[in-house]
Amino acid sequence: MAGPKPAALPLGDTPIRLRKTKSLFYKTLCFLSILLKYNAHKILFFKDFAVEYLTRVEKAIEAIKNGEMVIVMDDEDRENEGDLVMAGIFSTPQKINFMASKARGLICVCVPKEIALQLDLPPMVAKNDSNHETAFTVSIDAREAKTGISAYERDLTINLMCAPNAKPSDFVRPGHIFPLIAKDGGVLVRTGHTEAGVDLCKMAGVKPIAVICEIMKEDGTMAARGDRFLSDFSKEHNIKILYVSDLIAYRLQNENLLSITSRENSEFLSSVCEKITLKDHLDREHYAFKFGSPDTPLVRLHTIRTDFELLQNAKRFDFLLKCVKKLQKEGGYLVFVNDASTRTDLVKNFGIGAQILKKLDIREFKLISNNRREFAALGGFDLKILETLTA
């Protein structure tokens, strides 16, 4: 049985105060360490896309052009996998055998819609309800193949698919090669390995048919994005690593995806301004509200939200009001980007936002934001943030 509790020391006694101070200090340190870890992750994430993605994409394009394979990794909140990717026109039995024996996944061939139509490759099922709606067609073999499963015969089928005069009668169905149809618009429409493979072939200037194969560990589990297995695999076989998000950022920087559809005098929260409407490659509308005509404009980027979402968050609404007042006073642009903001889509947001600014002939500007780090990726799109200001 516990004895009587010791009498409490006076409130002003040093040991009690010291103990409380230590406890508060410890909790503060824990909180700061978590905060720093989170921010460091974000800094690395944006550094990834603002600085390093260009080099990775250019090296990958060169590798594809030279008939080499690359490892393409999608986002952690998607399949979270690494796939071997190569251009179909450079397929050999030895490379197919490498995919089968070292990567161990399913060997598929990614094609654009027009080639699928040319070869009469209908969808495998009428209703695709797989997790990521991967567009499998009926499987095929070269007609002259025997079993179709050997590395030599699968390579034969792939090379036949790449032939300029290939026709449906050259193949039998079902078979051991699994064609996948890439979405029009590539990784800017669907962030999958299928689209990444076709996009890479197009960027390399070769026929847009890619061979892909998931990388599986020796124990049968999938090699995930943060897995050391993939980096070791890359080093062991001298294969470059690329992220789907790299391709997204690269295409957003190098392709013109926007057009201005209208400019009109307008008001925003009772402030006189010019409303500029832009339309992107997915037919989505984005808006920029221009206040005044300063030499170095202020810029505030927002994602489009419903009135309910905006009004529900008092801090967000109050910040928007402050931004408008600052823009009205000093001049600049309030830009609304029409896009979701998942981890991968975040790159699209900045890319589309960057294209909007370029379309408006803005190259240097002062950013209105409470956190410059979140917009560091804009530097990767040839834009210069001169200063970051709070509202």
pLDDT 10s digits, 224-272: 877 899 999 999 999 999 999 899 888 988 888 899 999 999 999 888 9
**22-31, 106-115, 238-247, 297-306, range with the lowest pLDDT:** 22-31
Tell which residue, 274, 265, 264, has the closest CA to residue 331.
274
Neighbouring C-beta atoms of residue 18, cutoff 10 Å: 10
Report the pLDDT value the prediction gives residue 83, as an integer from 0 to 100: 97
Give the confidence band of 1 by pLDDT, cuts at 50, 70, 90: very low
Give the confidence band of 43 by pLDDT, cuts at 50, 70, 90: very low
CATH code reported for the domain at 46-252 = 3.90.870.10
Rounded Cα gap, residues 353 and 367, in angstroms: 13
**233-247, 272-286, 347-361, range with the lowest pLDDT:** 347-361
Supply the DSSP string of 53-118, one letter for each residue: HHHHHHHHHHHHHTT--EEEE--TTTT--EEEEEEGGG--HHHHHHIIIIIEEEEEEEE-HHHHHH
Q: Is this structure's pTM higher than 0.75?
A: no
Give the confidence band of 378 by pLDDT, cuts at 50, 70, 90: low
Give the confidence band of 382 by pLDDT, cuts at 50, 70, 90: confident
Which segments of the chain belong to CATH 3.90.870.10?
A: 46-252
Average pLDDT over residues 113-126: 97
Average pLDDT over residues 47-70: 86
Average pLDDT over residues 23-38: 45
Give the confidence band of 312 by pLDDT, cuts at 50, 70, 90: confident
Report the pLDDT value the prediction gives residue 307, as an integer from 0 to 100: 62
Asked if 258 and 356 count as a contact pair (C-beta separation under 8 A), the reply is yes
Report the pLDDT value the prediction gives residue 350, as an integer from 0 to 100: 66
Rounded Cα gap, residues 150 and 138, in angstroms: 19
End-to-end Cα spacing for the chain: 61
Question: Which residue do the tokens 């797989």 mark?
Answer: 130
Give the confidence band of 44 by pLDDT, cuts at 50, 70, 90: very low
Cα 64 → chain centroid: 20
Average pLDDT over residues 132-156: 97
Average pLDDT over residues 39-53: 49
Average pLDDT over residues 193-197: 97
Which segments of the chain belong to CATH 3.40.50.10990?
A: 258-389
Rounded Cα gap, residues 94 and 54, in angstroms: 30
The architecture CATH gives domain 258-389 = 3-Layer(aba) Sandwich (3.40)
Average pLDDT over residues 375-385: 71
What is the chain's percent helix, strand, coil content, to nearest 5? Answer: 45, 25, 30
Report the pLDDT value the prediction gives residue 269, as an integer from 0 to 100: 85
* Class of residue 30 by CB neighbours under 10 A (exposed 0-12, middle 13-18, buried 19+): exposed
Task: Tell me the range of 111-125, 277-291, 359-373 where mean pLDDT is highest.
Answer: 111-125
Report the pLDDT value the prediction gives residue 377, as an integer from 0 to 100: 61
Rounded Cα gap, residues 264 and 290, in angstroms: 10
Report the pLDDT value the prediction gives residue 344, as an integer from 0 to 100: 46
Report the pLDDT value the prediction gives residue 379, as an integer from 0 to 100: 64
Give percent of the chain with pLDDT exceeding 70. 79
Give the confidence band of 338 by pLDDT, cuts at 50, 70, 90: confident
Average pLDDT in the chain:
84
- pLDDT of 42 > 80? The answer is no
Report the pLDDT value the prediction gives residue 33, as an integer from 0 to 100: 45
